[in-house]
């Protein structure tokens, strides 16, 4: 078995906090929506998904002064793909659009900026 890569040699990542339409009501639907607008070569991992109507989303919208009906999520992408993903967010049109709200190299900062709680350990 190969030795574990040091932190400096691991691929760098970016977490993107985003809003999505209230019509999406499951993680599977949200992941499928992402696959529709991202090129197939880009790998992503959905971390947080809080759907319209939940207390977490209502508190986050109040924290950010957002008046729209939305869901909020966080996705992780590799740093080399980050530019493509951000461009894909901005090129979307229509009411099924995903909007980027915040991004960082640390998930803690994205959660803090969006007013999302840290998930409980299982």
- Please write the tens of the pLDDT for every residue from 3-18: 887 877 778 899 999 8
- Please write the tens of the pLDDT for every residue from 89-111: 777 766 778 888 889 999 999 99
- Please write the tens of the pLDDT for every residue from 30-40: 888 888 888 78
pLDDT of residue 122: 67
121 vs 74: which has the higher pLDDT: 74
pLDDT of residue 22: 87
Domain boundaries, the chain: 11-114
CATH code for the part of the protein at 11-114: 3.30.70.3250
Burial 47-63 (b: 16+ CB within 10 A, else e): bbbbbbeeebbeebbee
């Amino acid at each position: 078995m190969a030795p574990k890569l040091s932190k400096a040699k691991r691929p760098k990542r970016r977490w993107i906090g985003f809003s999505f339409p209230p019509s999406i009501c499951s993680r599977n639907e949200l992941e499928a929506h992402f696959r529709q607008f991202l090129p197939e070569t880009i790998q992503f991992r959905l971390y947080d998904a809080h759907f319209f109507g939940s207390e977490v989303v209502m508190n986050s919208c109040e924290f950010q002064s957002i008046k729209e009906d939305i869901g909020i999520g966080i996705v992780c992408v590799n740093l080399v793909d980050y530019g493509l993903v951000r461009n894909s967010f901005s090129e979307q049109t229509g009411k099924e659009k995903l909007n980027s709200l915040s991004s960082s190299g640390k998930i803690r900062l994205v959660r803090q900026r969006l007013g999302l709680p840290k998930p409980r350990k299982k």
